[in-house]
């Protein structure tokens, strides 16, 4: 079977090559999948895509017409693929759900601590030989209320870490996790209670039609003015316009994210020469109390190794005609 890897980045290719160990004929291309690049899949039975690729209905139809049968995502999130359409076209789709919840949870904590202790500001200051502390006031994590929306694989690891800091943990999830209640005294509450009572809020739900713009003007109105909001899930769970208003109106104290609502065409590439035309993103990047990283939470050696292994494991299952444990079905329908 021939595999075409879209959005292949130089740093991940060695991991994919090692995991493949020459059993599949693989072509790596830097291009993201979209209506223009779908044609590149001609002659390939399988493709692999990442979260910046666009597997919408039109693209999926093209892929089917070109003879593609299998799509394996190198990501846990799958909001960028229309699963229902894929099924209709007879395409099998699988993701990489559990490659390293620790990588994402740890990056969430890195963002939280950096935003709280103003590491990004301190770094900028000392590089121009300013060793003052007056702009660097933060708070202790101990005894703070940490509110988490989504206690799945990543959220559960985050709960464990934040429990280690001595935080009181409030959680909101469609499926409360009893183990987290028993082990860490987590209290499951409605999202409104999270917004009202938390000193820190972390978003760890998938992007679905239910979670799209979940953090809205109404949600910001309920939050404490000193709250720090962290989003390492998907950008469109937070309404960017509402976020900017909340920051302007000092309704929240800071925002850190590894994701952005309109990453497509901006993230995963160097725009430093030509700049960007996305005004809301430019506005966010101009605030000192906003910290954005370029969707890098998964960029650890362990995560990349596991993503690569899972990618070929998914293909192996399909080739052998065995059930694929990561195959996405109708129950996983998203936007």
Catalytic residues: 234, 263, 295
C-beta of 208: minimal distance to ligand NAI in Å?
A: 6
Answer yes or no whether residue 202 interacts with ligand NAI by CB under 6 A. Answer: no
Using the rule CB under 6 A, give the single segment among 64-72, 152-160, 275-283, 307-315 that binds ligand NAI. 152-160
- The end-to-end CA distance of the chain, in Å, is 31
Answer yes or no whether residue 151 interacts with ligand NAI by CB under 6 A. Answer: yes
d(CA 4, CA 1): 10
Nearest to 315 by CA among 32, 18, 48: 48
Reported residue count of the chain is 335
Question: Using an 8 Å Cβ cutoff, are 52 and 30 in contact?
Answer: no
* Nearest position to ligand NAI, beta carbon: 152
Q: Indicate the residue among 60 and 104 with the shorter CB distance to ligand NAI.
A: 104
Among 8, 73, 170, 205, indicate the residue that binds ligand NAI (CB under 6 A). 205
Reading the block at residue 72, the tokens are 């394996």
Q: Could you tell me how many residues of this chain bind ligand NAI (CB under 6 A)? A: 30
d(CA 110, CA 191): 24
Answer yes or no whether residue 263 interacts with ligand NAI by CB under 6 A. Answer: no
- Angle at which helix 301-320 crosses helix 13-20, to 10 degrees, equals 40
Task: Give the Å distances, CA to CA, from 210 to 36, 139, 172, 206.
Answer: 30, 33, 14, 9
C-beta of 255: minimal distance to ligand NAI in Å?
A: 15
Using the rule CB under 6 A, give the single segment among 201-209, 260-268, 274-282, 319-327 that binds ligand NAI. 201-209
Among 76, 81, 83, 169, indicate the residue that binds ligand NAI (CB under 6 A). 76
Contacting ligand NAI within 220-239 (CB under 6 A): 232-234
Q: What is the sign, positive or negative, of the torsion defined by CA atoms of 287, 288, 289, 293?
A: positive
Answer yes or no whether residue 104 interacts with ligand NAI by CB under 6 A. Answer: yes
Among 137, 142, 174, 273, indicate the residue that binds ligand NAI (CB under 6 A). 174
Q: Count of H helices and E strands in the chain?
A: 12, 12
On the CB side of 159, CA atoms within 13 Å amount to 29
Nearest to 293 by CA among 235, 219, 245: 235
Among 38, 54, 59, 77, indicate the residue that binds ligand NAI (CB under 6 A). 77
Q: Indicate the residue among 45 and 173 with the shorter CB distance to ligand NAI.
A: 173
d(CA 187, CA 27): 48
C-beta of 173: minimal distance to ligand NAI in Å?
A: 4
Residues in contact with 83: Cβ distance below 8 Å, sequence separation at least 6, in sequence order? 93, 328, 329, 330, 332, 333, 334
Answer yes or no whether residue 297 interacts with ligand NAI by CB under 6 A. Answer: yes
Answer yes or no whether residue 152 interacts with ligand NAI by CB under 6 A. Answer: yes
Q: Indicate the residue among 38 and 326 with the shorter CB distance to ligand NAI.
A: 326
C-beta of 156: minimal distance to ligand NAI in Å?
A: 8
C-beta of 131: minimal distance to ligand NAI in Å?
A: 33
Answer yes or no whether residue 32 interacts with ligand NAI by CB under 6 A. Answer: no
Coil, strand or helix at 36: coil
CB atoms within 10 A of CB 234: 27
C-beta of 214: minimal distance to ligand NAI in Å?
A: 7
Which residues of this protein are in contact with ligand NAI, per CB under 6 A?
A: 76-77, 97, 101, 104, 150-155, 172-175, 204-208, 210-211, 232-234, 258-259, 295, 297-298
């Amino acid at each position: 079977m021939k595999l075409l890897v879209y959005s292949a980045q130089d740093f991940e290719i060695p991991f994919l090559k090692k995991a493949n160990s020459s059993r599949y004929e693989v072509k790596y291309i830097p291009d993201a999948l979209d209506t223009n690049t779908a044609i590149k899949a001609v002659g390939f039975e399988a493709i692999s895509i990442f979260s910046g690729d666009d597997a919408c209905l039109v693209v999926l139809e093209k892929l089917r017409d070109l003879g593609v049968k299998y799509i394996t995502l190198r990501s846990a999130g799958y909001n960028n693929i229309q699963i229902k359409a894929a099924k209709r076209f007879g395409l099998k789709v699988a993701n990489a759900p559990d490659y390293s919840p620790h990588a994402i949870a740890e990056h969430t904590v890195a963002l939280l601590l950096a935003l709280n202790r103003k590491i990004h500001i301190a770094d900028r200051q000392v590089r121009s030989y300013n060793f003052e502390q007056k702009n660097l006031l933060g708070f202790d994590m101990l005894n703070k209320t940490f509110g988490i929306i989504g206690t799945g694989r990543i959220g559960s690891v985050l709960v464990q870490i934040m429990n280690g800091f001595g935080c009181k943990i409030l959680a909101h999830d469609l499926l409360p996790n009893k183990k987290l209640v028993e082990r860490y005294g987590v209290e499951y509450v409605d999202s409104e209670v999270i917004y009202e009572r938390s000193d820190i809020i972390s978003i760890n739900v998938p992007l679905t039609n239910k979670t799209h713009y979940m953090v809205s003007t109404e949600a910001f109105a309920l939050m404490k003015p000193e709250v720090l909001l962290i989003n390492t899930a998907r950008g469109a769970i937070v309404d960017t316009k509402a976020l900017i208003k909340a920051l302007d109106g000092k309704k929240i104290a800071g925002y850190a994210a590894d994701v952005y609502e309109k990453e497509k065409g901006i993230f995963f590439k160097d725009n430093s020469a030509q700049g960007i035309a996305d005004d809301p993103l430019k506005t966010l990047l101009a605030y000192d109390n906003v910290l954005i990283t370029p969707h890098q939470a998964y960029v650890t050696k362990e995560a990349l190794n596991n993503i690569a292994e899972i990618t070929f494991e998914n293909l192996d299952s399909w080739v052998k005609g065995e059930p694929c444990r990561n195959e996405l079905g109708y129950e996983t329908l998203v936007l």
